[in-house]
Structure 1
Amino acid sequence: MMTLEEERSPAEIYDAHFVPALFVQWGPVVAAEAAVQKGDRVLDVACGTGALALAAAAIAGPSGSVVGLDANPDMLAVARRKPGQIEWLEGKAEALPFPDNGFDVVVSQFGFMFFEDKSKALAEMMRVLRPGGRLAVAVCHAVENSPGYHAFALLLDRLFGKAVGDAFRAPFSLGDVGRLQEICRQAGLMGAEIVQRNGKVRFKSIDALVSTERACVWTLGGVLTDQQFEVLLKESETALRPFVINGGKIEFDMPSLIIKAWKS
């Protein structure tokens, strides 16, 4: 018999575990960096299950509007269950299905690392912004700056080889200011600014962190056998112990880098 977790889609697992542990805290941060205001028309690119779109909608209010766009229909299916008057659309960042100059604000958090053509996606985001509109795009900083995840990546290297560790490192691949600046230049964003903001990773236990990472189709999903998973769980108790706080919860820093730009 399948467990409840096995019956869930990857998008449902993401929403139930990753969003509260990592991503919900960033919605208000990215919205603030984009200076979302009451009445704004906002586009959230790679909206996932809606953490940032919901934060933007709370600020824009009923006089504004928010569109959440994602290439993954399963993510959108979960997003559509959320409350609020948000329009959820399927589409790719590299070919936004909107006319020029239609939004006051374009935002994106923690999806940019996975775009096929990152400079094209940035250029598209700027295209749909109105003159004077604001852009904010958040990516994970380098894994070395997130101590718990760095320890976990090194543990994966040691136990299963660098290929498995690097699969886990994929979301951290754009954690480099110089590389982001080059992508901005390629996209024609000459006045872009890149800022660092700090957040936390919080799971209820080491077991919860490891189990969630194993279920993530974008990193370790399908990579480890059941036997390898048991080894990883056991070894993680030692490797991640420095990050355990009261009651067995685990917490550590996870900074982000945010691209900020304005359309002249």
Structure 2
Amino acid sequence: MTAPESPLGPAEVYDAHFVPALFAQWGPVVAADASVRAGNHVLDVACGTGALTLAVASIVGPAGSVVGLDANPEMLDVARKKDTRIEWLEGAAEALPLADDSFDAVVSQFGLMFFQDRPQALREMMRVLKPGGRLAVAVCDSVDNSPGYSAFAQLLDRLFGREVGDAFRAPFVLGDAKQLQDICREAGIGNAKVARRNGRVRFHSIDALVSTERACVWTLGGVLTDDQFARILKESQTVLQPFVIDGGAIEFDMPALIVMAQKAGPA
């Protein structure tokens, strides 16, 4: 058995599969934790294909404005097709091409884990905030707190070794509140708070979950051979069966940790 060739590029796979299964639900949550309001000027760092950006745009309305920034031009190509009123900007989180004191709120979801210099990225986010501006940055909580993904990671360990399992665990490496506080302190953010928020993963089948993970360039993309994919697909039917709900869909918890801070100055 071999995996069918996907006609979609990595950004399109992300948008078609990961966004509805995992990420779309978090836009309103992160926006609320940043106290985004009508009329605000907001920056979304590592915006991807725009799940959070679009949620923010719906809140700020025509009196506000939103900038979505990402280092990946393919992600931005997908995002630009969704809303031409949003300013979609290519750039690195560690060197934001934006002026000081520009935004009422800066938000970011599920990107900090992949930044090369995490403290520097947070410094940049604080730099572009106006005095009194609010920051909210979401990361995946520990894989141990996401039972379906924890079972899948352990299956990868057993079948192919810890190196493959750890490739899958890459998005979960910041799932520790103390580690996040340490990064904030290194970034000079002394008033940061870290809160856990509950979320769910839902794919329409076990096969869909496994196939999407295999296609993800940030984790298992290019790691599994066709034979290994066939094996993990077969074994997953048993390992992930406890998370199957009515109709064959698979669903389980995947909480997030959200870093919140406010820049000194008048609100």
TM-score, normalization: structure 2?
Answer: 0.97
Q: Which residue of 2 aligns with 1:141?
A: 141
- CA displacement 1:130-155 (0-9 Å, x = unmatched): 00100000000000000000000000
Q: Distance in 1 between matches of 2:120 and 2:48?
A: 20
Q: Is the 8 A contact 1:54 1:84 kept in 2?
A: no
In 2, Cα distance between equivalents of 1:98 and 1:249: 43
Say which SS state the counterpart of residue 175 (structure 1) adopts. Answer: coil
Which residue type is aligned with residue 139 of structure 2?
Answer: V
Secondary structure, in 3 states, of the residue corresponding to 2:38?
A: coil
Residue of structure 2 in register with 1:20 after alignment: 20
Partner of 1:33: 33
Which 5+ residue runs of structure 2 have no aligned equivalent?
A: none
Deviation (angstroms), 1:5: 5.4
State the one-letter code of the partner of 1:105. Answer: A
Matched with 2:93 is: 93
5 Å-filtered alignment, 1:17-166, equals: 17-83=17-83, 85-166=85-166
Structure 1 portions without partners, runs of 5+: none
> Partner residue of 1:168?
168
Partner of 1:194: 194
1:207 alignment partner in structure 2: 207
- Separation of aligned partners in 1, 2:82 and 2:205: 27
Quote how far apart the aligned CAs of 1:8 are.
1.2
How is 1:232-247 mapped onto 2 (pairs within 5 angstroms)? 232-247=232-247
**CA displacement, residues 206-239 of structure 1 (integer Å, 9 cap, x when unaligned):** 0000000000000000101111100000000000
1:262 maps to: 262
Percent identity of paired positions between Structure 1 and Structure 2: 72
CA distance in 2, matches of 1:9, 1:161: 28
Q: Which runs of 4+ in 1 moved over 4 A?
A: none
SS at structure 2 position matched to 1:7: coil
Q: Measure, in 2, the Cα distance between the counterparts of 1:16 and 1:241.
A: 24
CA-to-aligned-CA distance 1:10-55 (integer Å, 9 cap, x gap): 0000000000000000000000000100000000000000000000
TM-score for both structures, normalised by structure 1: 0.98
How large is the Cα RMSD of the aligned pairs? Answer: 1.0
Mapped partners of 1:73, 1:83: distance in 2: 16
SS in 1 for 2:191: coil
Structure 1 residue 7: deviation in Å? 2.5
Post-superposition CA distance 1:152-180 (Å, at most 9, x none): 00000000000000000000000001110
What is the number of equivalent residue pairs in this alignment? 262
Question: Secondary structure at the residue paired with 1:131?
Answer: strand
**Structure 1 residue 85: Cα displacement:** 1.3
CA shift digits 1:217-264 (9 cap, x unpaired): 000001011111000000000000000000000000000000000001
